[in-house]
Amino acid sequence: VQSGDGAVPGASVAILNTTYGTVADREGRFSLTGIRPGQYTVVVTAVGFARQTRSISVASAGNQTLDFRLTESTAQLEEVVVSAQK
């Protein structure tokens, strides 16, 4: 998982409607194992980046390489006010 500035460590990678998921390492690499043949949708999310989805087809056992290039999100969060009482 990469962005224009390099790796995106900690990006969440998941296959929709399954229990398969993982987090990208500090180089932006990830691995999902034990996936049965079929059609899936992979979702990648990271704070500060736009969510990305991709449909994939797993035909048989073996490795498949997926490259994701995330773009910075332009969404702005609302202001949060923290206060305390004594």
pLDDT string in tens for the chain (86-residue length): 777 678 888 999 999 999 999 999 999 889 888 888 899 999 999 988 889 999 998 887 667 788 888 888 876 667 888 888 88
Q: Which pLDDT score, from 0 to 100, does residue 76 have?
A: 67
Instruction: Specify the pTM.
Output: 0.75
44 forms bridges with which residues in the sheet? 13, 52
Question: Three-state DSSP class for 5?
Answer: coil
Contacts of 14 (CB under 8 A, 6+ apart): 20, 21, 22, 42, 43
Q: Which pLDDT score, from 0 to 100, does residue 19 have?
A: 92
Q: Which pLDDT score, from 0 to 100, does residue 14 have?
A: 94
